[in-house]
Chain A
Amino acid sequence: MKYINRRKLLGTLFALPFIGLTTSALAQSEVTISHYFTGELGLKAFGEQMEKFEAATSYKMKNSPVGHEDFKTDILVRASGSSLPDVFSYWAGARVQFIADSDSLKPIDQMWNEAGLDQIVAKTVADSATMYNGKRFLVPFNYHYSGMFYNTKVMADAGITKMPTDWNGFLALCKELQSKGITPIALGSKNRWPAQFWFDYLLLRSAGPDYRAQLMAGKASYDDPQVKQAMGMWKALVDAGYFVENANANTWTDASDQVARGDAAMTLMGTWITGYWNGLGLVPGADYDFFPFPSIMAGVPSASVGPVDGLVIGANTTNPKGAEEFLKFMVSDTGVQAAWSKAQGALSANVNVDASNYNSVMLKAFETVKNSDAFAFNYDLATPPPVAEVGLSMFARFMDDPSGVDEIMKQTAQDAAGAFNE
């Protein structure tokens, strides 16, 4: 310690401002990003979109992809150390709400208005996905729609020509398939979340989007009659043997494979299944198609369910301008949106993306969402994370043994109420 060279000390002090200048200059041109688009296709495709941004602007992206589940841990850890990246991908809905409430995000109202994104982002998605606590925080990068995807050959062989639009028609369809020796519905609920679409649609179609919103917000209870009714309908399906056995043992890809092979007829899943099936060599329209979840009660508004993947900006970003430019570019550049949605089997929230970008099935999904009365986020994105855990476990328990449904729902109501109090 005695040997601090005075000259060296002076030199360092002198140099500090310059170092400061250069690092801030670097910061000006670099944007850090973390996202969960991994896997062969996702990584490559996202990398390509980033390159387009870098080519169009003077910014450099510092990329940090993390696998889906681990991403949740990673973002939390980074937030705890106040070192969130400039930009990161996140699921619109209750999860963004959660971190927005914790002041972890930077509002983007100014950028939104200046870039005229009201004209670019589809209204149904924009309202529900981008606005929180009265401010805008997120741009939708892509979204998915959840529908009843089926194997066209299996349906044709069973002599089914018209897809059901209401509940009775759906029940008749299942009965018909079963009589021909085909398992009607495939479900792979090993990771719990695939089962949520059943809960979502059954509740939406019978009790309506308003009631569901209440339940998601903790203002209604899981042992309400509306929930009981929806669960009862679900139970009826399982008891009749319309679901594959051991649903909890299969992942959603296992279930999708069952439909692809013809072992089951249909599965309620998001549009990403098209990306998966295309990868297996199936042809949209010829080998597979979908129909919207049937209506259950007349007069109930038709809602579409699906997740919205968005991009958000960390609250203490060191490069707000660069981050905002990135968000703006990613959502408004039609080249990026078209390429990305195609690679992901997703839908673009950008209204300027040409419909010809979609294959026949995706186009149908696009139209369905456009024509539905509301767009709702799927269960684990619609309710706060602690409650989502309770609900997801409930679905798995139910699929394991539906006979205990009353007991299960009572327990769930209790657990959910406790989770909301956190």
Chain B
Amino acid sequence: MRGLSWTPLIKASMERDKRLWRIVLLTPPLLVFSVLIVGPLLSSFYYSFTNWNGFSSSYQFVGLSNFQKIWTDRLFFQATVNTIIWMVSALLLPTLLGLVLALLLDSKVRGGKFFKTIFYLPICLSAIVVGQIWIWIYQPNWGLLNTLIEEITGERFRYAWLAKPDSALFSVIVAWSWQQTGLSMVIYLAGLTAIPSEILESSASEGATTWQRIWYIIIPLLIPSTVVVIALSVINSLKGFDILYIMTGGGPFNSSDTLAMHMYNESFKKYLIGYGSSISVVLFVIALIIIGIYFRQLRKFDQIYGQ
């Protein structure tokens, strides 16, 4: 195909067609996106320069004072640290576990469909019920976790997982990962189906061991899926709100706040819409930086692995 020489005229008309199609195909999604997402986002950023409390019909411009306030807000820094912890955990826990599960399930083991459903089930539950059931797991006096620990060790164990500042955040992350793993698994499974069986069979007949097959063929070919999985996990962790809201509300005393929760508290509990919006701006900028770095890395990957 590559050897053919297109005459300049044909090339030009092809370019024109391309341009036309770009416009036709991109306009609907971009339009919807701009009106419903970008517009409101900009609107929200605008509030960050005011001291609006949501109820008054009037407010004043306060310039950058909201942003200055962020500097001295100790809760903000706690929230930032927590958000980073959540992101890192998101990169490790559900991603790796999802990959392992997908690899295990792809092997046509008996009852594969049954297992798949069990691991995917948590996603089908709403955050309300997932949060609540994990509260009941972590309950210090009769919760499942402490009951099991007491059975195993034979000693009284009444640790309050969600009420102690040291363990609250991580307890929620575990619950969230439980739900998120099924998502990674599903995406990896879809990615695995895109790997041609011929490649695997031919490598097997050439004497490659299972581990070699996994490491040198499957995992590299799962890069596109990993891209998506990591993107989703990190993004969901940045947003990680519903389940945190149900389980701790950012508590005990703000120790499990994430940036999203902190923004919510400031805007909707303290009625400081202006300040809450400024937190959103910072959150968004951090996210953009991460996304930029991520895509830069991706381009490097593309260069190494081709395609």
Q: Which residues on A are within 8 Å of B, measured CB to CB?
A: 72-73, 76-77, 79-80, 82, 98-99, 102-104, 190-192, 245-246, 248-249, 385-386, 389, 393-394, 396-397, 400, 419, 422
Contacts and interface: CB of A to CB of B under 8 A. Distances in A.
Interface string B221-247: 000000000000000000000000000
A248 B252 contact: yes
Contacts of A396: 251-253
A246 B140 contact: yes
Interface stretch (B5-13, B195-203, B264-272): B264-272
Given A246-B158, A249-B162, A80 B54 contact: yes
B235 to A, nearest CB: 23
Contact of A389 (B51, B54, B57, B269): B269
Given A82-B57, A190-B163, A249-B160, 11 more contacts: A79-B55, A80-B273, A98-B55, A102-B55, A102-B56, A103-B57, A192-B251, A246-B141, A248-B251, A389-B269, A396-B253
B254 interface: yes
A400 B271 contact: no
29 contacts: A72-B269, A76-B54, A76-B55, A77-B54, A79-B54, A79-B55, A98-B55, A103-B56, A103-B57, A104-B55, A245-B158, A246-B140, A246-B158, A246-B160, A248-B164, A249-B140, A249-B160, A385-B270, A385-B271, A386-B271, A389-B269, A394-B253, A396-B251, A396-B253, A400-B163, A400-B164, A400-B253, A422-B51, A422-B272
Contacts of B57: 82, 102-103
Nearest to A77: B54
Interface string B129-173: 000000000011100000000000000001010111100000000
Contacts of B53: 102
A79 B54 CA distance: 6
B155 to A, nearest CB: 15
B139 A386 contact: no
B249 interface: yes
A248 B56 CA distance: 35
A396 B162 CA distance: 13
A190 B256 CA distance: 13
Contacts of A248: 160, 163-164, 251-252
B269 A385 contact: yes
Interface residues of B, number: 27
Contact of A386 (B160, B164, B165, B272): B272
A139 to B, nearest CB: 20
A397 B165 CA distance: 9
A400 B270 contact: no
A76 B139 contact: no
Contact of A98 (B160, B265, B271): B271
A419 B75 CA distance: 13
Interface centre among A79, A249, A397 (most CB of B within 10 A): A249
- Best-buried of B165, B251, B273 by chain A (most CB within 10 Å): B251
A36 to B, nearest CB: 15
Contacts of B51: 422
Contacts of A385: 269-271
A422 B53 CA distance: 10
Nearest to B52: A80
Contacts of B249: 191
A246 B55 contact: no
A245 B273 CA distance: 37
Nearest to A393: B253
- Which of A98, A248, A396, A419 is the most central at the interface, judged by chain B CB atoms within 10 Å of its CB? A248
A76 B268 contact: yes
B188 to A, nearest CB: 36
Given A103-B57, A246-B140, A393 B254 contact: yes
Most central of B53, B139, B164, B253 by chain A CB within 10 Å: B253
Contact of A249 (B163, B254, B272): B163
A249 B162 CA distance: 7
Given A82-B57, A400-B252, A246 B269 contact: no
B55 A99 contact: yes
B281 to A, nearest CB: 18
Nearest to A408: B253
Nearest to B47: A80
A415 B134 CA distance: 32
